[in-house]
Structure 1
Amino acid sequence: MTMLRAERVTLGYGRTPVVHEVTLDITEGGVGLIGESGSGKTTLARAFLGLLTPLSGNIWYGDQTLKKVDMRKFRKDVQPVFQAEALDPRMRIGTSVAEALPRGARGRVKDLLEQVGLDPDLATRRPHQLSGGQRQRVVIARALAVDPRLLILDEPTSALDVTVQARILDLLASLDTERLLITHNLAVVGRLCRTAHVLFAGRVVESGPTTDLLAKPAHPYTRALRDAVPKLGGAPPEAKGRTEAVPARTGCPFRLRCPLAAPECERPPVLRDLGGRRVACHRAEDVLLS
């Protein structure tokens, strides 16, 4: 079942587009948006939350666009989970979590803190008195206060050490709530998301089942992201291609960094079906064979 859908969405700040005609569905089983900084992940997430109006195209929630949907119901159904720094430093933890609750339900704060594995006594403290992992759990508890159908998580573990990351991932995996995960961490997507979309320079370059994308990428950029992940006990990964090159303005945006770039890459690739996934690369078959 599709919960949210972007249909040929172009997004920008002012008149400058930064996301270009993206079409993708947020479906059951968890969906990941993968890409390096500046790829357009957070911008697209803001559009899904109704915080950014598309320059063209539409965001659909059910059979209505966000322009027509009842936003009070939408805000209850779809909740963001930002990084822990989103907490107001002046507010006590209990007050912060209770903000989203009706007055008669303020007693749920204790239950929500326990649900995310926190001692209810922390409700009297302020954010600076908690660790990074504890603050991130508070952000999740606050989002869960309205019993959402979908959580939109923007890099929820990026500022945490690996042991705290593991606890947060265990928590998210245990929740009976769908999720859209924005991250550059492929391991996190593999843990929490059934499907994934890879963004480069504001364009979807590969989409499909997460296990397929991680095991056998069909786009050179997806493969570069996967190969950049350090392996325990192995040699540090080597950067391949011109990692500092900016996206090309014509043809394939990735061609100036691509180790497989060929003359045909001077033509813009289209997102096409290939073996149960979609990929925007003229040489995708060669990538799968290499």
Structure 2
Amino acid sequence: MILRAERVTLGYGRRPVVHEVTLDITEGGVGLIGESGSGKTTLARAFLGLLTPMSGNIWYGDQTLKKADLRKFRKDVQPVFQAEALDPRMRIGTSIAEALPRGSRPGAKQRVAELLEQVGLDPGLAARRPHQLSGGQRQRVVIARALAVDPRLLILDEPTSALDVTVQARILDLLASLDAERLLITHNLAVVERLCRTSHVLFAGRVVESGPTRDLLANPAHPYTRALRDAVPRLGGPPPEATGRAEAVPAGTGCPFRLRCPLAVPECERAPEPRDVESRQVACHRAEDVLAGASGGPVT
């Protein structure tokens, strides 16, 4: 375990947007899946130490992040943002060199060339500025910059969302080949299936399903996970169905998904606790019915 969230609640001002989340970042890649506004990026900001929990703790090894050696933490845990994060005024080589440890500055030019080659780019691109590179090249530069300190963990926030399909494939091949572990924040199920052994599905700031990625996507046990999977268009297949009303239930008033859930029953007015169901943990009263392929309506 590199990082762990323990009953973490996060918010902006006094308004919580992530509610008592507990999850570990372990080997094999971990995915955070959910629609926009589900709390994925907010949780990633807490893992990076950029947002202080309202309650609960972020653990880095056997220490809370508050007490950890931040210099070592910044070396071990690196963010990979989208390509737009590059300073447009700075040359690519300078941008990467800026991230190098101070002791390696004398050999910075050679190290920058090595990092560019590691991510499949011509070292000659070091002299260019971001606007002179394609979207895929810029994303590789962002990855190279993160690799400059040999991190143990990369926190990737939608690293392929602005790229076309062929460039996405090359970036995924690159990420899969790296030694560093991955926390991947995405709504792209194909990407998380490729890069993450385990996944956590967030809805309205709560983890509703956790487990092996292949099991979650092949046979979801939560109606929301199933709705995400079924919303992916299939070539030659019918268009995806709408998932219903968009709003979530306010905190503390039952299952947050029940207004959109086709399987909601009166019991859903009581908030479900996460429980073990087959190979995963699910916060749903009707998880067994979802696994069995229930198509909607209350059970009699």
Q: When the two structures are superposed, what TM-score results if normalisation uses the length of structure 1? A: 0.98
Name the CA distance, whole Å, in 2 between partners of 1:235 and 1:257. Answer: 21
Name the CA distance, whole Å, in 1 between partners of 2:189 and 2:106. Answer: 41
Name the CA distance, whole Å, in 1 between partners of 2:210 and 2:151. Answer: 26
Say whether 1:183 aligns with 2:182.
no
Question: Which consecutive unaligned segments of at least 5 residues does structure 1 have?
Answer: none
Name the CA distance, whole Å, in 1 between partners of 2:127 and 2:67. Answer: 40
Match of 2:152 in 1: 149
Match of 2:240 in 1: 237
Query: Where do 1:167-206 residues align within 5 Å?
Result: 167-206=170-209
Q: Deviation at 1:85?
A: 0.5
Specify the code of the residue in structure 1 equivalent to 2:78: Q
Aligned residues: 287
Specify the code of the residue in structure 2 equivalent to 1:83: Q
Name the CA distance, whole Å, in 1 between partners of 2:107 and 2:262. Answer: 57
Q: Deviation at 1:104?
A: 2.4
Alignment counterpart, residue 166 of structure 1, candidates 161, 164, 169? 169
Question: Which consecutive unaligned segments of at least 5 residues does structure 2 have?
Answer: 294-300
CA RMSD of aligned residues (A): 0.7
Identity of aligned residues (%): 86
Large movers: runs of 4+ above 6 Å: none
Alignment counterpart, residue 213 of structure 1, candidates 211, 216, 219? 216
Name the CA distance, whole Å, in 2 between partners of 1:238 and 1:201. Answer: 21
Match of 1:248 in 2: 249
Q: Deviation at 1:105?
A: 3.4
Q: After alignment, is 84-93 or 100-109 more displaced? A: 100-109
Say whether 1:29 aligns with 2:28.
yes
Match of 1:51 in 2: 50
Specify the code of the residue in structure 1 equivalent to 2:249: A
Q: Deviation at 1:235?
A: 2.2
Provide, for residues 36-57 of structure 1, a one-character-per-residue CA deviation record: whole Å limited to 9, x for no partner. Answer: 0000000000000000000000
Secondary structure of residue in 1 paired with 2:31: strand
Match of 2:297 in 1: none
Match of 1:105 in 2: 107
Name the CA distance, whole Å, in 1 between partners of 2:81 and 2:269. Answer: 38
Specify the code of the residue in structure 2 equivalent to 1:248: V
Secondary structure of residue in 2 paired with 1:67: coil
Name the CA distance, whole Å, in 1 between partners of 2:107 and 2:223. Answer: 51
Q: Deviation at 1:236?
A: 1.9
Name the CA distance, whole Å, in 1 between partners of 2:229 and 2:202. Answer: 14
